Structure 1
């Protein structure tokens, strides 16, 4: 029972962490857009970027003002922290919005994942989960995931995970070539074409 509670707490902590990443990224992107909008195309040189500089100064002043308020009245954190956590959880995109592949059938997604893992393995004995996760995130999938998330999801998709897979003299969690199920006939046809 205690293990189940720990797992729930760990999932909640991972959700909050991922939400904070999304929230910080969104806030940073919006601030950067706002600063870039201060540039004037009708002027040249320093005069063209004065608006950007002014907006950066305003952002810095706002950050300093927030820091000063929190140092002066730390009780504000009793309201600020729950609001931050609420905003972080709301910042997590829905699964439907996150991947356009959600409209594909689960079997098609499963086969694509199997093909991806085979491609990443190549002629090596396996692939580390960190490498697979980096590849997924590079292509806009699995944002906010950690290796533990991938380690939990892959077995449900029919891809067994080993605790120790040795690739390039490094041992870590990964998928070993021998554990992968044989490719489907449809995949064989696609590779032959």
Structure 2
């Protein structure tokens, strides 16, 4: 891969990472507007208000850029710098296939420990929370930058960790997630004892 291609690849991955971080952060911020002490429509008024604020902010930025087109160059430069920094920990001397065996995928016990840490004292964790954590952690950001919820789900299930369609956990309503009860370590396989060994004993 040429230097120009590597640069373009890094900027593309960085842009994807930034987009996911922004969307995840915006979704989490909106979700925190929910009032757990209320019910019905009143409980989600905070979420609606925050969504409207985000839309208003996007509208104002669009109007400003249209009025001052030169700002688009400045915003583009800032975005490219941020995208470059977002992938500064991405290995560049290894092929993509080599990163697929990173501990987050290859080590089931490490993955279980990470999930339990994310749960804290809770009984479950949403996949979107897990994915956001992996994409923000410098150790796993390069590997998971392009992952989707479906990608994460397939890797969890490959490690024998069931994913449930409707899990209640902090950060939003019921959605796909993992439960603490499913993270118990697998029991060791029983050792077979030959008839001769039993007789000798």
Please give the TM-score of this superposition, normalised by the length of structure 1: 0.48
More helix by share: 1
